[in-house]
Amino acid sequence: MDYITTREAAEKWGVSGRSINYHLVAGRIPCAVKKGKLWLIPADAQRPADKRRHGQELSERDLSFSSDLTRLLKATSVPLPAHNPDAILERASDEKARRQYEAEIAYLRGDFKRVIDCFLTTESDDAARLRACVVAIAAAISTGDYHTYTQIEAYLKRCAKTHPDGDIPAAAEMALAVAAVSCIAPGMAPKWLQEGEFSALLPQTRPYALYLRAKYFQCTNQYEAMLAVAQTALSLSEPEHGICQACLYLRLCCAMACYALGREDKARRWLLDTMRVALPHGFITPFAEVVTAMGGLIEECLEREFPDSYDAVLRQWKRTFANWITFHNHFTKDNITLILSLREYHIASLSRDACHTKKSQSSIAFRWEGSGTSCRIFTKSCSFPDGKSLKNIFYELKKREFLRAKIHYRK
């Protein structure tokens, strides 16, 4: 079979290289193969169906969606002024950009209600709404507001379906990936995120996409890869002056990866450097989100250099961690067949149906280990009748975070 490159296919079909890469990552070009970082496309392959080539007229609003999103991303990718982040609100080029910056600053300070209020004002503007979905989903997770999340999720899926080509579906999938990596469901992350293929994304979104990829590696316990991605992203995208939200989180990814790898001194340095940038402006949310993963290091650093922020960070951590558990349980229950493997789902089904433990173990030969607390959470999320039917089934609690069950096979 003869093959052509993505550039040759783009010229042949009269489309952009970004569009070709999106179709490849989505699996829409049959028999295409990937050799290293190079895609090879069958020379006789047909261009994937395009809504506009099926006689369906696109509205003016649909035609301008992508260009509006591009303009808004450029307008909202300017770093926050280091001396006074709120000054960006006066410098914003238009009301859409100002509202996006307002939502991001409110999120960093833990004002999640303000974030959702800003998101709700975008209802009549698709570009502004899609741009705000990332921070709105993060706020919904922090408040345990699963209802709001499901509304945003439905909107994003509708966007991806209605606009199958170009930047829009990739932007929608990136927003949905926030929930996947936050709820420790790496299998639900889009394929392009798992593979690190970002060609379908606009350049302004790539720093945050790299943060999500680092989180994906954290979900899969690949801490060396997590550290490498975060450090590389910082070297490529961290501004010389100003504060970049994605870069704050990339720095914390470095800290978490170093801590997980036993490099506590480096983790401490990453934390303190990030605190010096963020905490003077009241940006407590990034640190509250990682308290659990850092095994007391956050508290130590706060007591050492930022005692005035200690109570605020810890209060938010207690509140948002409880909300995260609530959100996680709803998310897991609705997506259990996507999160668990077929074997794990079979185990859960046997337990749910109150099969005797011996029967379950003999039919699939398994043994579970972990903590009763995590077991109760999983029991609730899977609608098990009670914890007693799981007498010999309990879950692993790793680094004080409730992670998905790890199955240990009986030798």
Give per-residue pLDDT as tens, 27-53. Answer: 788 888 888 778 889 988 888 765 444
**pLDDT tens digits for 327-376?**
999 998 888 777 766 555 555 565 555 444 444 444 444 444 333 333 43
DSSP 3-state percent helix, strand, coil across the chain (nearest 5): 65, 5, 30
Q: What is the mean pLDDT of the chain?
A: 81
Provide mean pLDDT across the span 242-259: 96
For residue 31, the model assigns a pLDDT of: 86
Considering the domain 69-323 in this protein, what is its CATH number?
Answer: 1.25.40.10
| 61 or 321, higher pLDDT | 321
For residue 10, the model assigns a pLDDT of: 79
- Is this structure's pTM higher than 0.95? no
Provide mean pLDDT across the span 48-69: 59
For residue 30, the model assigns a pLDDT of: 86
Cα 281 from Cα 306, distance rounded (Å): 12
Residue 42 β-bridge partners: 3
Using DSSP, state whether 35 is helix, strand or coil.
strand
Q: Measure CA of the first residue to CA of the last residue in the chain; give whole Å.
A: 46
Picking from 104-108, 227-231, 315-319, 379-383, which range would have the lowest pLDDT averaged per residue? 379-383
Place of tokens 């951590």: 317
Provide mean pLDDT across the span 201-209: 90
